[in-house]
Amino acid sequence: MFLKTSNKMSNKRRDFIKKTALLSLGGAAIPQFGMANSKDNNSNSKIITDLRPKVLFFDVNETLLDLTAMKKSVADALGGREDLLKLWFTTMLQYSLVSTVGRQYNDFGIIGAAALQMVAKNNGITLTEEDAKNSILGPIRSLPAHPEVKASLQALKDAGYKLISFTNSSNKGVKTQFENAGLTQYFDDRYSIEDIGKFKPHTDAYDWAARKSGLNPNECMLVAAHGWDIAGAIWANWRTAFISRPGAQLYPLADAPEINESNLKLIAEQLIKLK
């Protein structure tokens, strides 16, 4: 019932991540999952279930799509200040949640443009609302997939997995993104939090996606390249696979994901082995 895998994480991140991923899967209520061996906390291994999740949900931006072109466009809008990109992206994520906890909703791209205006002003950069929007909304719709993505999605489909995209972008936005990146054919469905009006990682967003697909939370697995998305999914009792793309960090105060690899190919290989 259990598969003991060697832990691929070699960096020190491991030091401050709790190693009780299975506990968060509602293990007590699901006898076949059981409990991780907590005595094993200081070893370099962990125990995961070898049962397949019933659906794989994929975050889109950065997880599947390469944001490089959008980052270049935004850096241009910031007068070449590439050093401000991470601050802009983090401010956008912060304000997506500011909106959600304030019972408001705007398109993710509109929030991104507002965040860009704030970062620009704080750095003495003049940027009109229209220029801010154009710098984001143009390129975000035509991003290419990361190089390993298509083959990995095809391999997962061939292995019998059902794939659903699950994004903070709008319905129209992700439809256009997938058409332009050539990803439409790989997915059984596309979910956008636009339908519920609460951005990930709100627990309600994961609950909604699970219910919409007719599953219990612990039958869902999120594949994502953002620590906050992984944390939110774990707190919603989902299973998780983290793609540790450059610049991505897990949240130290959340449990560890079940799978943690540097690209989707390596994650797919692990998932295909499950029964």
Map the footprint of a copy of itself across residues 231-250, applying CB under 8 A: 231-232, 235-236, 247, 249
Structure-block tokens of residue 205: 């967003």
217 sits near a copy of itself (criterion: CB under 8 A) = no
CB of 221 to a copy of itself, least distance (A): 17
| Candidate segments 46-54, 70-78, 100-108, 153-161, binder of a copy of itself by CB under 8 A | 100-108
Q: Which residue in 170, 198, 213, 219 binds a copy of itself (CB under 8 A)?
A: 198
CB distance 119 to 91 below 8 Å: yes
196 binds a copy of itself (CB under 8 A): no
At residue 205's C-alpha, the angle toward residues 203 and 206, to 5°, is 70
Residue 82 binds to a copy of itself (criterion: CB under 8 A):
no
Candidates 61-69, 81-89, 134-142, 261-269 — which segment interacts with a copy of itself by CB under 8 A? 81-89
Could you say which DSSP state residue 29 is in? Answer: G
Q: Cα–Cα–Cα angle for 226, 228, 230, nearest 5°?
A: 70
Tokens 């793309």: give the residue.
245
Considering only residues 2-41, where is the footprint of a copy of itself by CB under 8 A? 12-13, 15-16
Instruction: Take residue 135 and report the two structure tokens written for it.
Output: 């710098």
For the chain, state the CA radius of gyration.
19
> Binder to a copy of itself among 5, 106, 134, 176 (CB under 8 A)?
106
Between 35 and 101, CB nearer to a copy of itself: 101
Q: How far is CA 184 from CA 189, 200, 242, 268, in A?
A: 9, 22, 22, 18
| Binding window for a copy of itself (CB under 8 A); candidates: 45-53, 66-74, 83-91, 140-148 | 83-91
The count of chain residues that interact with a copy of itself, using the rule CB under 8 A, is 46
- Cα 248–chain centre separation: 10
- Provide the H-helix boundaries in the chain: 68-77, 85-101, 108-122, 129-140, 149-158, 171-181, 203-212, 227-235, 264-273
Instruction: Confirm or reject binding of residue 90 to a copy of itself (CB under 8 A).
Output: yes
Binding site for a copy of itself (CB under 8 A): 12-13, 15-16, 83, 86-87, 90-91, 93-95, 97-104, 106, 110-111, 114, 117-118, 121-122, 126, 129, 198-199, 201-203, 227-228, 231-232, 235-236, 247, 249, 251-253
